[in-house]
Amino acid sequence: MNKLSILGMVMCGLAQQAIAAPVNDTLAKAKQTVESYQNLRDSCAQASDKQRQDCLSRLSAASDDYRAAKQLVAANVSAPRLASNRRNKFTAAN
């Protein structure tokens, strides 16, 4: 191989890493959003009266971000869907 070919391969590898890093950060944030929303939903289920109303209000405000994050995660993860994993967790516990 000549030096130009090697340089081209190195530049291509660097470009792929530069593109992958923001995607990985975005995916990590989306996973965190999904997890936070699910935790909030669990908290709302256990709350009562005024606390529950406040919690449900926060849950409602976060629902659009949750839906978008869940779609992003589902599109980029080859594992079973998050909702299925969540149901399995509850089914196994009961």
| Mean pLDDT value of segment 77-88 | 55
Position 80 scores a pLDDT of 52
Q: Where are the domains of the chain?
A: 28-93
Kindly tell me if the per-residue pLDDT of 42 is higher than 70. Answer: yes
Q: How deeply is 69 buried, as exposed, middle or buried, from its count of CB atoms within 10 A (0-12, 13-18, 19+)?
A: buried
Give exposure, 16-47, as e/b (b: 16+ Cβ within 10 Å). eeeeeeeeeeebeebbebbeebeebbeebeee
Q: What is the mean pLDDT of the chain?
A: 75
Q: Check pLDDT > 50 for residue 7.
A: no
pLDDT band at 94 (very low <50, low <70, confident <90, very high): very low
Query: What tokens appear for 85 in the block?
Result: 């994993």
